[in-house]
Amino acid sequence: MLTFELLEKHGEHEQIVYCHDKDCGLKAIIAVHNTTLGPALGGTRMWPYKSEEDALVDVLRLSKGMTYKASAAGLNLGGGKAVIIGDPKKDKTEALFRTFGAYVNSLNGKYITAEDVGTTVHDMAYVFMETPYVTGIPVSFGGSGDPSPFTAHGVLMGIKASVKEKLKSDSLKGVRVAVQGLGNVGHHLVEYLVKEGAQVTVADIDKDKVKSVCDKFGLSAVDPEQIVTSECDVFAPCALGAGINDQTISKLKCKIVAGGANNQLAEHRHGDALLEMGVLYAPDYVINAGGLMNVFVELEGYSRDRAFEKTTQVYDNLMQVYRISREENIATHRAADRLAEKRIKSIANLRQHHHGRMARPFSTLKEMTSRQK
C-alpha cells in the first residue's frame, strides 16, 4: 500500500515525521496522532521491522492507542509514538539516539518521547542530550524511573473498582485473584493484593520468579497453562497480550478480568463475548494507565507521592467506563473508547470557544527545558 493510502486507512493523524541519517543509520518514524488535550506522549519502540510499511502501520496504530489511553486516564496529554527500524541487540549507538533526539527536538514539544519495547532508560539518557522532550529518564536526571510500581498500583485500584461493580464489595479481603505473570508489574501487584487480604494464586513460565514470589508471600502457584482456567473471582493478566482468545475464552472460570497486560483481547469480538458470558472486563488501556500517570507527574516536576496519589484515579475512570457500559448496553472496551472520544470532543469544543488556549502541559514543558543535563 502507498503511504497516503495507509495514512487514510489508519486514522486521522496530525503529523508524521520520517527521520533519516545516513551516517548513523537512523531510520525512524514519529507519529503525532492527536494533540487536542496536550502534547503527544508515547514511547520509542526499536524493532527490526520486516518492511517500512510494517513500521508505519505499527506507529500509526500505537500512537492512536496513546491518544485514547491518555484521554480515558483524564490526563492533559495527546497521543504519539515513535519507531526506530533496527535490531535493539545490534544497532544501538550513541549517535543513533542523539540524532533521533534532535528530530524529537525539532517538534518543539509537540511530541514527548519515552522508553518502550527495545529501548531503555539508558538510551533515553542519550535522547535527553539533544532534547528536553523526553520522559522516563533516569532518576538521577530528575526523571521518574521505573513505572511498574505505579502501573501495578493503578491495576490494584482497577481491581477494587471491578470488585465493587461486579461483587458489590468495598474490600478485597478473601477475594480470589489469579495473577498471570510475575514480572515488573505482576510482582508489585501481588504485594499490594496480599496487603489488602486477597487470596492470591500465581503463575509464570519463569520458575525462579514463581519460587521467589511464593516464598516471599507464602502463596501457592499453578502451572502457567492452568492459570487462565483457574476458578477465581478475578483473573489478572500481567504477562503478554492476546491472552483472551478463541482458545481460552470459553475456559475462563472467573467473574472479572482485570490486569496490567496490554492488548488483552485478541480481537474486539472477544470483549463482546465476555459481556455475553457475564464476565466483567476492565479495559486494558484504562486499568494499566498508572505508568502513564507517573510520567505525566514527571512533566509537572516529579513527586513520587503525587504519582501514587494520581494512580488512585484509575478507580473512578473504570467506574465511568462501567456506567457507560451499563447505560448504553455495550461491552466495556467499547465504553472505554466512547469515554476517551467524548472527552477529546468536549475539550476540542471548549478550545473553539476560547480561542484555542492550550492545556497546561504546554506551559509545564518550560520546566522540562530547564532540567539539568
Give the Cα separation of 355 and 11 in Å (integer).
26
Q: What cell numbers appear for 353 in the block?
A: 470557544
Q: What cell numbers appear for 108 in the block?
A: 518543539
Give the Cα separation of 177 and 40 in Å (integer).
35
204 binds ligand NAD (CB under 6 A): yes
288 binds ligand NAD (CB under 6 A): yes
Closest alpha carbon to 112 in 122, 124, 96, 123: 124
81 is catalytic: yes
314 binds ligand NAD (CB under 6 A): no
Among 262, 312, 342, 367, interactor with ligand NAD by CB under 6 A: 262
Give the Cα separation of 128 and 110 in Å (integer).
16
The catalytic position among 27, 64, 69, 81 is 81
Q: Which residue is nearest to ligand NAD (CB)?
A: 183
- Residues forming beta bridges with residue 111, ordered by sequence position: 40
**In this chain, which stretch among 11-19, 235-243, 269-277, 358-366 interacts with ligand NAD, using CB under 6 A?**
235-243
Name which of 209 and 334 has its Cβ closer to ligand NAD: 209
Question: What is the smallest separation between the CB atom of 3 and ligand NAD, expressed in angstroms?
Answer: 28
Give the Cα separation of 127 and 111 in Å (integer).
13
> Considering only residues 69-108, where is the footprint of ligand NAD by CB under 6 A?
none
Give the Cα separation of 126 and 121 in Å (integer).
9
Question: What is the smallest separation between the CB atom of 38 and ligand NAD, expressed in angstroms?
Answer: 19
**In this chain, which stretch among 63-71, 259-267, 296-304, 306-314 interacts with ligand NAD, using CB under 6 A?**
259-267
Size of residue set near ligand NAD by CB under 6 A: 25
- DSSP-derived pairing of the beta strands 40-41 and 111-112: parallel
Output 219-222 pairs: Cβ under 8 A, ≥24 positions apart.
219/190, 219/194, 222/178
Question: What is the smallest separation between the CB atom of 61 and ligand NAD, expressed in angstroms?
Answer: 14
Closest alpha carbon to 11 in 52, 77, 61: 61
Among 1, 129, 240, 277, interactor with ligand NAD by CB under 6 A: 240
Instruction: Point out which residues bind ligand NAD (CB under 6 A).
Output: 147-148, 151, 180-186, 203-206, 209, 224, 238-241, 260-262, 288, 291
Catalytic residues: 81
